[in-house]
Amino acid sequence: MNILVINCGSSSLKFQLIDAVTEELIAKGLCERIGIEGSNLVYQPTGKEKVETQTPMEDHTQAIRLVLNALTDEKTGVVKSLSEIGAVGHRVVHGGEKFASSTVITDEVIQGITDCNDLAPLHNPANLIGIAACKELMPDTPMVGVFDTAFHQTMPKEAYLYGLPYEYYDKYKVRRYGFHGTSHSYVSKRAAEVLGQKYEDLKLIVCHLGNGASVSAVKNGKCIDTSMGLTPLEGLIMGTRSGDIDPAIIEFIAHKEGKSIDEVMALLNKKSGVLGLSGDLSSDFRDLQKAYENGDEAGIRTMETFAYRVVKYIGAYAAAMNGVDAICFTAGLGENSPFIRDMICNRLGYLGVTLEEEQNAKRGEDLIITTPQSTTKVLMIPTNEELAIARETFALVNQAG
């Protein structure tokens, strides 16, 4: 069965068509600038030439229509008709406490996702638009929602509650939810396979280090803590997001700079992180790494502060699990930068971590990058959120069928 995986943002849409049985990627692509002048579709059928089309896309329905046309096109298409797409899997960012696992999308589920809009005002409405567009264009094709928050729903109360008046949890569900769950789940399961050990027997720490970044503690096959919170702003220092700060800083900056709360929040989301810390040098770790290597002070302070925060979370989660068997690196930076893995692992001597330099220099495949003597193993596992969404969708549609 072919599964169309859709990841809908406010003005963009990423898609992949995956054969759920062979797990082969059939085609992938991206619609950009939806609803904005200069929209374009990049469509890449596997093994064939990439097709780029500049074409107006007024809304997401039109974008999905163009994607479906590309997939079924006589010349560049990969399926004869839409009936060859067995199901659609949607990435949904926030499932609140309602969705602890993926689910077949019904009207009730759509209402449930809508109820979580408050918790992810930038993301959930966009995800819902994608769902509505597919419903309109492919009314008979089953759809599944796969939530970024679901994997973390196993966290115990002590990990997800904040030190706030409990009534805010009761009334508004203010608590830690965590994100990147599909990636943390995929990578931690894959790590168990690579280690040749039972998932249920392991204590794992997953470092998803990309433009957005988070760490999770996975004990005996269940997430027990994660660094992102009510929103994806908490935790590690990210591309442009601050991560953990003293909450009093918000008021302090608002007073000093004459800014509103909304303005300070925009600053914390878009102008902070490694971008802000480097004095606007870059939010891209490749530039910052170069600056570090060139001895640039801004590059050095930024990379060291970023790495230190990751090391701190690893220590906290090793303590939370009373030990750790393996640490996994994934996502853009975690997968592609031996430099950052080295910088972090160098500070983990107390866990008996010894990197195997030759292994750490490699790319692109699942790797154990520590020596056989290393007490705690370190792995590099490329994440594949789309494949994970396709798997979940296939399993649920099969079950329902």
Q: Which is nearer to ligand AMP, 340 or 353 (CB)?
A: 340
- Give the span between the Cα atoms of 208 and 41, in whole angstroms: 28
Q: What residues contact 81, with CB distance under 8 A and at least 6 apart?
A: 72
Q: Answer yes or no: 148 catalytic.
A: yes
Cα(first)–Cα(last) distance of the chain, in Å? 12
- Work out how close the CB of 232 gets to ligand AMP at its nearest, in angstroms, rounded to a whole number: 12
Q: Would you state the structure tokens that stand for residue 396, as one six-digit string?
A: 């649920």
| 99 HSE (CA, 13 A, CB side) | 29
Bridge partners, 223 (sequence order)? 218
Write out the residues near ligand AMP by the rule CB under 6 A: 210-212, 239, 284-286, 289, 331-333, 336-337
Reading the block at residue 304, the tokens are: 């060291």
Taking the complex as a whole, the smallest distance from the CB of residue 309 to ligand AMP amounts, in Å, to 15
What minimum distance in Å lies between the beta carbon of 22 and ligand AMP?
25
The catalytically annotated residue of 148, 244, 246, 262 is 148
Closer to ligand AMP at the Cβ: 336 or 384? 336
User: Would you say 86 or 212 has its CB closer to ligand AMP?
Assistant: 212
Phi, psi for residue 43 in degrees, rounded to 5: -125, 125
Is 69 or 211 the residue whose CB approaches ligand AMP more closely?
211
DSSP letter, residue 244: S
The CB-side HSE value for 370 (13 A sphere, CA atoms) comes to 23
Minimum distance of ligand AMP from residue 239's CB (angstroms): 5
- Block residue for tokens 């590309």: 70
Q: Whole-number minimum distance, CB 211 to ligand AMP, in Å?
A: 4
Asked if residue 51 lies in contact with residue 70, where contact means CB atoms within 8 angstroms, the answer is: yes
Nearer to ligand AMP, 267 or 340 (CB): 340
Strands (DSSP E) contained in 166-212 are 203-209
Name the residue type at position 54. Q
* Residue 296, token pair as written in the block: 């640039």
- Measured from each CB, the residue nearest to ligand AMP is 332
Write out the catalytic residue numbers.
148
